[in-house]
Amino acid sequence: MPRDPDPPAVPTFSDVLVAHDRIRRHIHRTPILTSATFDRMVGAELFFKCENFQKAGAFKVRGASNAVFGLTDDRAAKGVATHSSGNHGLSLSYAAGRRGIPAKVVMPRTAPEAKKAAVRGYGAEVIECEPSISSREAALADLVAETGAEFVHPYDDPRVIAGQATCAKEMIEDLGALDIIVAPIGGGGMISGTCLTCSTIAPDTQVIAAEPEAADDAYQSFKSGAIVAYDAPQTIADGLKVPLKELTWHFVSTGVSDVLLASEQEIVDAMRLTWERMKIVIEPSCAVPLAAILKNRDRFAGKRVGVIVTGGNVDLDKLPWL
Amino acid sequence: MPRDPDPPAVPTFSDVLVAHDRIRRHIHRTPILTSATFDRMVGAELFFKCENFQKAGAFKVRGASNAVFGLTDDRAAKGVATHSSGNHGLSLSYAAGRRGIPAKVVMPRTAPEAKKAAVRGYGAEVIECEPSISSREAALADLVAETGAEFVHPYDDPRVIAGQATCAKEMIEDLGALDIIVAPIGGGGMISGTCLTCSTIAPDTQVIAAEPEAADDAYQSFKSGAIVAYDAPQTIADGLKVPLKELTWHFVSTGVSDVLLASEQEIVDAMRLTWERMKIVIEPSCAVPLAAILKNRDRFAGKRVGVIVTGGNVDLDKLPWL
């Protein structure tokens, strides 16, 4: 796939600094909330970085904006493209809309109409494919060949990882030293960015990834020392079904302290508890860290812990506890 | 009912300053959120003061804490009491728990078990009565006579109004001049506090009250110039069913610029839209201001508008759009 001229193979912290300056005016500096209830339950100080309040409803807009606004005018004019039925598609559409360039998002024809409508709402075009990886890749390759659009992968892209890394940077700027930062892991974009930031400006901060038991490919990769990928894992945490790729595996294998798991029921319970106690709307994927923390209290007791609340795009007609 | 020694008949802004110093360490200074979507929909700059993130889940903890922490040690030792099946009962229980004094809350035996459990969870005692005003008042009078507990009315109490007034004070400190502040109106405690603060430190700021059409007693009072009270209005905005009383009518009749109404459907739509777009959990009562603003855009266009998001205590098993 064509990429920006000479993207670095592995992003460095100076890419993060550039990214932050580039995207600052297109994103929210999201607030950090605390909860006396959760602190008491865990015996720790928890700091929730609310990316559910982020533009387009999720942290993904950081990486997408960095990719879109980092393009030269010539490349940008041809637009951007991706495959995603989730927050990356929305975020890329948002960022492209802000820059005033075309965006095309390949989505399975079976994806919910509401998600297609949301992408179109940002002015992007939805390209429907069959619900298979081969159909998705063929559709994407066709449209890139046809339009010259720039492919922005949801996570296996240095520009995206450098963008996601700005989230942990803001946390450390606002909170000072943290003992641990916990984030969910799917493809690993947010965790990679977090590792990148921490290894440079907070080397004593452990990065812990939280994953659904039902899609524990990152856990298996971490334990076995090589990428393990599943074909079609089923979990309510639908943002976390995708496997690690080369770039994200680099960060996971070198920067993550541990991967903790949570069951489907624990994820739903933590999601509901967050709505009830913190009064914020979070997606199932983003309840996985709290579920993992509640399950492993000893690990966190007495610590200052940052928790990345990754997104809040939920279908309010289908709540998992109803 | 016995009260603190010499409470002022009508609170003044110096009572608000004292209240703020008194309660500061017991409450959150709640964040103020914005929404590009809502700004675009209304053509205004809206600032949402998130009291749904407040301790005990609602602004009521401001007034309750001011009453509880303003008591002399002798009076405090006898405890506090109120009647409330809503946020005031919870808030008084929270504040009493913080001070380590007894609290008794009279609730109809028909109130949801979850609400009774929440009050007990803060260490307070629930006194059950029959679901009628006479039974409630008799139960309260009995327990006050028996224990000497201090009655803290949910809104018709100068200490409570001075406490609620700290919310608008924080908004003006954080945001500077606002053209309008909108808050829901039930008994009028929050609106009265808002009028008190604005009349002193922001006299050019209009205070607009928002009320359900189905319980429009404050609207009728405002238009007719005398308190109108209904017996048992039915509205989904269950925090807004109670009538104005002497003290709150004083502020409503002298400080409020207008009372705007919203239908039940408009309230539910605004509630859902807030969850969806702002990713925050708000109660039906607290969607009334946004519903009224969306219905009266012309009135707000081009203005800087503060919106008090009063609380987030919702039964997640019973969402009004499901």
Whether A32 and A179 share a structural domain? yes
Whether B51 and B70 share a structural domain? no
Whether B103 and B252 share a structural domain? no
Q: Is position A8 within any domain?
A: no
Find the closest chain B residue to A322 by CA distance.
B317
Which tokens hold the place of B99? 């001070």
Is B90 in contact with B78 (CB distance < 8 Å)? no
Find the closest chain A residue to B280 by CA distance.
A280
What is the C-alpha to C-alpha distance for residues A17 and B132, in angstroms, rounded to an integer? Answer: 64
Question: Is the minimum CB–CB distance between B53 and chain A shorter than 8 Å?
Answer: yes
Find the closest chain B residue to A311 by CA distance.
B279
- Per-residue pLDDT tens digits for B166-189: 999 999 999 999 999 999 999 999
Distances (CA, A) of A118 to A150, A314, B311: 21, 12, 29
Q: DSSP readout, B31-64?
A: -EE--HHHHHHHTSEEEEEEGGGSGGGBTHHHHH
Nearest CA among A228, A232, A241, A248 for reference residue A160: A248
Which tokens hold the place of B282? 């708000």
Is A311 in contact with A239 (CB distance < 8 Å)? yes
Of A36, A316, A321, the CB nearest to B272: A316
Whether A208 and A99 share a structural domain? no
Contacts of B94 in chain A (CB under 8 A): none
Whether A267 and A238 share a structural domain? yes
pLDDT over 60 at B223, yes or no = yes
Whether B54 and B66 share a structural domain? no
Whether A34 and A78 share a structural domain? no
Find the closest chain B residue to A279 by CA distance.
B281
Q: Is position B123 within any domain?
A: yes
Edge-first strand listing for the sheet containing B258-262: B32-33, B45-50, B304-309, B180-184, B206-212, B258-262
B220 φ, ψ (degrees, to nearest 5): -65, -35
Closest Cα of chain B to A249: distance in Å?
Answer: 31
Q: Is position A121 within any domain?
A: yes
Closest Cα of chain B to A321: distance in Å?
Answer: 8
Q: DSSP readout, B238-260?
A: GGG-SPP-HHHHHHHHHH-SEEE
Contacts of A33 in chain B (CB under 8 A): 31, 53
pLDDT band at B6 (very low <50, low <70, confident <90, very high): low
pTM (two decimals) = 0.93
Of A93, A117, A151, the last residue of a domain is A151
- Per-residue pLDDT tens digits for A152-191: 999 999 999 999 999 999 999 999 999 999 999 999 999 9
- Give residue A97's pLDDT: 97
Closest Cα of chain A to B103: distance in Å?
Answer: 21
Q: Regarding beta strands A125-129 and B32-33, do their DSSP bridges make them parallel or antiparallel, or are they unpaired?
A: unpaired
Contacts of B53 in chain A (CB under 8 A): 33, 278-279
In angstroms and rounded to an integer, the radius of gyration of the C-alpha atoms of chain B is 18
Question: Is the minimum CB–CB distance between B281 and chain A shorter than 8 Å?
Answer: yes
Whether B209 and B274 share a structural domain? yes
Distances (CA, A) of B271 to B1, B236, B267, B288: 37, 11, 6, 8
- Interface residue of B279, B309, B316 to substitute, partner A, most A CBs within 10 Å: B279
What is the ipTM score, two decimals? 0.92
Whether B121 and B180 share a structural domain? no
Q: Is position B259 within any domain?
A: yes
Whether B33 and B142 share a structural domain? no
Strands (E) in chain B, as ranges, are 32-33, 45-50, 80-83, 103-108, 125-129, 150-151, 180-184, 206-212, 258-262, 304-309
Provide the residue range defining the domain that includes B177. 13-59+159-309
Whether A183 and A274 share a structural domain? yes
Q: Is position B204 within any domain?
A: yes
Closest Cα of chain A to B212: distance in Å?
Answer: 23
Distances (CA, A) of A43 to A228, A301, B258: 34, 5, 48
Q: Is position A3 within any domain?
A: no
- Per-residue pLDDT tens digits for B257-284: 999 999 999 999 999 999 999 999 999 9
Neighbours of B145 (CB within 10 A): 11
Question: Is the minimum CB–CB distance between B52 and chain A shorter than 8 Å?
Answer: yes
Contacts of B56 in chain A (CB under 8 A): none
What is the C-alpha to C-alpha distance for residues A127 and A111, in angstroms, rounded to an integer? Answer: 11
Question: Is the minimum CB–CB distance between B31 and chain A shorter than 8 Å?
Answer: yes
Domain count, chain B: 2
Q: Regarding beta strands B45-50 and A150-151, do their DSSP bridges make them parallel or antiparallel, or are they unpaired?
A: unpaired
Closest Cα of chain B to A261: distance in Å?
Answer: 26
Asked if the Cβ–Cβ distance from B33 to A52 is below 8 Å, we say no
A304: CB partners within 8 A, 6+ apart? A44, A45, A47, A175, A177, A178, A179, A180
Specify the residue for token string 């039925």. A85
Asked if the Cβ–Cβ distance from A279 to B280 is below 8 Å, we say yes
Q: Is position B284 within any domain?
A: yes
Is A259 in contact with A267 (CB distance < 8 Å)? no
Question: Is the minimum CB–CB distance between B40 and chain A shorter than 8 Å?
Answer: no
Q: Which helix (H) or strand (E) holds A6?
A: none
> Mean pLDDT throughout B16-29?
97
Question: Is the minimum CB–CB distance between B272 and chain A shorter than 8 Å?
Answer: yes
Of A53, A57, A276, the CB nearest to B33: A53
Q: Alpha helix (H) ranges present in chain A?
A: 13-23, 36-42, 60-69, 73-77, 87-99, 113-121, 133-147, 158-175, 189-201, 217-224, 246-255, 264-278, 288-295, 297-300
Of B131, B151, B171, the last residue of a domain is B151
pLDDT per residue of chain A (322 residues) written in tens, 0 to 9: 445 445 448 999 999 999 999 999 999 999 999 999 999 999 999 999 999 999 999 999 999 999 999 999 999 999 999 998 889 999 999 999 999 999 999 999 988 888 899 999 999 999 999 988 889 999 999 999 999 999 999 999 999 999 999 999 999 999 999 999 999 999 999 999 999 999 999 999 999 999 999 999 999 999 999 999 998 899 999 899 999 999 999 999 999 999 999 999 999 999 999 999 999 999 999 999 999 999 999 999 999 999 999 999 999 999 999 8
Of A151, A182, A200, the last residue of a domain is A151
Asked if the Cβ–Cβ distance from B322 to A317 is below 8 Å, we say yes
Sign of the Cα torsion B223, B229, B233, B239 reads: positive
Q: Is position B8 within any domain?
A: no
Nearest CA among B65, B245, B252, B240 for reference residue B156: B245
Asked if the Cβ–Cβ distance from B321 to A319 is below 8 Å, we say no
Question: Is the minimum CB–CB distance between A16 and chain B shorter than 8 Å?
Answer: no
Question: Is the minimum CB–CB distance between A41 and chain B shorter than 8 Å?
Answer: no
CATH number of the domain enclosing B284: 3.40.50.1100
Distances (CA, A) of B106 to B114, B188, B189, B198: 15, 21, 20, 33
Whether A80 and A125 share a structural domain? yes
Neighbours of A97 (CB within 10 A): 17
Asked if the Cβ–Cβ distance from A280 to B275 is below 8 Å, we say no
A242: CB partners within 8 A, 6+ apart? A154, A155, A186, A187
What is the C-alpha to C-alpha distance for residues A127 and A105, in angstroms, rounded to an integer? Answer: 6
